[in-house]
Structure 1
Amino acid sequence: MIRCLDNTEHTVAMQIYDIFQASYKIEAALIGIACFPPLARTIDDIFAAQTQFYGYFEAQELAAVVEISIQDTVLIIDSLTVSPSFFRRGIARKLLCFIMEEYPFSRALVETAAVNAPAIALYKKQGFVAVKKWTPDHGIEKVAMSITNTEQS
């Protein structure tokens, strides 16, 4: 089941934080970097976020979180994380499809590490294409991916 999460509730912010930490530690290891910027995000950062969070629940347990924002008609996927104990069950795809169906958008954007093959494969399967590669100050090469919603164009 997918439902909206109220990140301004401390308990919910803590659950989101826990999923982020567990998932991003795995991603940091995959990338091969110790100082992974998403791991520096605090509970207070999540609590104060102006983005929208949705959670995927399995047997009443929060298994995954997607964080989005909307700018005009552009859907931005700020984060998509799955608890490691729920990996490889198609949950990330379900959350991604839910968001893309729930919000009318002309274009959707997401960024990930250029070496994050599982994430890139997920987005490509949903029709995203790489539109930009760059290396920010933190030194982790990133790729931006985009999809155009032909129904909204």
Structure 2
Amino acid sequence: MTIKKIDIRNRDIAETVLNIQLASYKVEAEIIGYDDIPPLLDTIESLQQCGERFYGFYLEDELCGAISFKMDKNVMDIHRLIVHPDQFRKGIASKLLTYISALDNIERIVVSTATLNTPAVTFYEKHGFHKEKEEKINEQLSLSFFRKKK
């Protein structure tokens, strides 16, 4: 098991990340009953140009999950936390979140998820995040915004 920074600009890595992302977010779409979510519309090119920092979780040499974020001063904004469905319930998401939370110069971490995505909401609450607000995006989708002081 290894967690390491990955270069999303590398096309092969971006393709692998996209495949995991699509599989992971299809599960979320099923949970929330809405499949028009932005991560399902990503392409290799949009990932390569997203400007996020990515860290990957590897078992042997296989990428099984990834987390990405942007930094704004000392605030880490998590954009994606994805695990391949074949690897669910193995602690990979927790390990990725714990790893990036330990990076230097972070005062606060923010993240959002679909309000109806109970597993994700529970996950973030379990990791010390507090719900700040809820925002209705459209008739089918509402997002919950969480934050955590480091």
TM-score (norm: length of structure 2): 0.95
Aligned residue type for 1:53 = F
Give the counterpart letter for 2:10 in structure 1: E
Distance 1:103 1:31, change over 3 A: farther
Instruction: Report the alpha carbon displacement of residue 139 of structure 1 after superposing the two structures with TM.
Output: 4.0
Cα distance in 2, alignment partners of residues 138 and 56 from structure 1 = 35
Partner Cα separation in structure 2 for residue 111 and residue 3 of structure 1: 23
Is 2:34–2:140's contact at 8 Å kept on the other side of the alignment? Answer: no
Deviation at 1:137, TM superposition (A): 4.3
CA–CA separation in structure 1 for the residues paired with 2:49 and 2:100: 21
What do residues 47-82 of structure 1 show as CA deviations (whole Å, max 9, x unaligned)?
A: 112110000001211000101110011011111000
Q: CA deviation at 1:34?
A: 2.8
Partner deviation per Cα, 1:73-93 (whole Å, 9 max, x = no partner): 101111100000100001000
Classify the secondary structure of the residue corresponding to 1:102.
coil
Runs of 4+ aligned residues of structure 1 deviating over 3 Å after TM superposition are: none
Alpha-carbon distance between aligned partners in 2 of 1:43 and 1:138, rounded to the nearest angstrom: 29
Letter of the structure 1 residue corresponding to residue 80 of structure 2: S
Q: Distance in 2 between matches of 1:38 and 1:89?
A: 23
User: 3-state SS of the aligned residue for 1:22?
Assistant: helix
CA distance in 2: counterparts of 1:4 and 1:21, whole angstroms: 20
1:24 corresponds to 2:28: no
CA–CA distance in structure 1, aligned partners of residues 91 and 17 of structure 2: 19
My pick for the range that moved more, 30-39 or 91-100, is 30-39
Counterpart CA distance in 2 for 1:19 and 1:147 is 26
> Against the structure 1 CA distance between its residues 101 and 138, is the aligned structure 2 distance closer, same or farther, given a 3 Å change threshold?
farther
Displacement of 1:103: 3.5
Specify the SS of the correspondent of 1:93. Answer: helix
Partner of 1:7: 8
The whole-number CA distance in structure 2 between the counterparts of 1:36 and 1:73 is: 28
| Pairing 1:79–2:80 present | yes
Moved more, 66-75 or 100-109: 100-109
- Unaligned runs of 5+ residues in structure 2 are none
Partner SS, residue 16 of structure 1: helix
TM-score, scaled to structure 1: 0.93
Give the equivalent residue in structure 2 for 1:109.
110
- Aligned-pair identity (%): 32
- 3-state SS, counterpart of residue 23 of structure 2: helix
What amino acid sits opposite 2:37 in the alignment? F
- RMSD between superposed Cα atoms in Å: 1.1
User: Structure 1 residues 18, 73: closer, same or farther in 2, change over 3 A?
Assistant: same
| Gap runs ≥5 in structure 1 | none
